Amino acid sequence: MSLRILHVLDHSIPLHSGYTFRTLSILREQRKLGWQTFHLTTPRHLLGRSLEEEVDGWHFFRTPVSEAGSRRWPGLDELALMRRVEQRLLEVAQKVRPQILHAHSPVLNAIPALRVGRRLGLPVAYEVRAFWEDAAVDHGTTSEGSLRYRLTRGLETWALKRADQVFTICEGLRNDIVQRGIPAEKVTVIPNAVDIESFVGGGPADARLKSQLGLSGATVIGFIGSFYAYEGLDLLIDALPEILRQRPDVRVLLVGGGPQEAALRQQIARLGVESKVVIAGRVPHSEVQRYYDLVDVLAYPRHSMRLTDLVTPLKPLEAMAQGRLLVASDVGGHRELIRHGENGILFRAGSKEALADAVGQLLTERERWPALRAAGRQFVENERNWTASVARYATAYARIAKNANA
């Protein structure tokens, strides 16, 4: 079945994020299936003012940023953004003539797609990667149960009910969507996955890099990613004194950056562990593998909240694909991926004592390492590869395209 699909995206490459990596994986696999894909980003992409752009062989239609925002009343900027996206989407759709409009989170993309779809008689799929209102809680721009939170949640539900098909990334989000009154048969999970061929087992540590970072002779607990509050890096630092009591040779390596970096540095200084933590900063994507190879155990200490209980992350899957050892909090998103004692170690979310014990036990029981590594790799090969994930679109696409032509 040949299809023409116009994807509406919040942002894309050349920006690097879990969002853009998932998008590229989806597009690659859809192209392998013989489908034609077209791609429009919103003003939130925030790079340049060109209407079209080629990036790494991919063609993107862009929606330019307006000259100024309103900021006078809450919601006016969002309304203006949706109007710009709707206008640009209409132009692009009339040019490329897709059979399906596929809007990806946030809901600010879904509403313009629904309006354009209705105008052009095109079916609309809405893919929920996370709920906008829950992300806003973590960013500190609203609180759970606030008026803004309830209004955003209502808007999300409104869009979900009107979309011809709903996709989402995990069972936690699917259950939440169905509980809102969306028919279960209309909701398909396209799980986060990895490109198996892109990940190989970890190589030997680069001794020179390890020395430059002051990690020679150390056992390294690492995190590579964005420093958001929900990632729980503060819990890792809180647990470090107890980890050091058990294993004085341990050092923590944090690679990346983000909103929590300043707070983490203050916390490290307050606990007097500056010599035990290395914040390497952001590194080029081509260099990330060298830093992974320095790490003995990867830590994913996410805090428990709606966002982390509902959404499965990509990072643990990437770690498993490389045959890495990992410890992770037992939030819902992690429990969908990690089978305790089989392909990783789970600890009680929010407990620095549980985190320290999990790290200490894993470092002590080296005889378990080969089995944990092999099980993680097998899990992603068998259950979480992009070819299998993206194949799930086919049935739903065919149904809504057929209904549109009926």
Question: What angle is formed at CA 25 by the lines to CA 131 and CA 169, rounded to 5 degrees?
Answer: 30
State how far the Cα of 128 lies from the Cα of 126, in Å rounded to an integer.
6
pLDDT at residue 50 is higher than 90: no
Buried b / exposed e over 367-396, threshold 16 CB at 10 Å, is: eeeeebbebbbebbeeebbbeebbeebeeb
pLDDT at residue 93 is higher than 90: yes
State how far the Cα of 173 lies from the Cα of 162, in Å rounded to an integer.
18
- Record the pTM: 0.83
Give tens-digit pLDDT for 51-66.
999 999 999 999 987 6
Give tens-digit pLDDT for 342-378.
999 999 999 999 999 999 999 999 999 999 999 999 9
Going by C-alpha positions, the residue among 41, 33, 46, 42 that lies closest to residue 4 is: 33
Residue 207, classed as helix, strand or coil, is helix
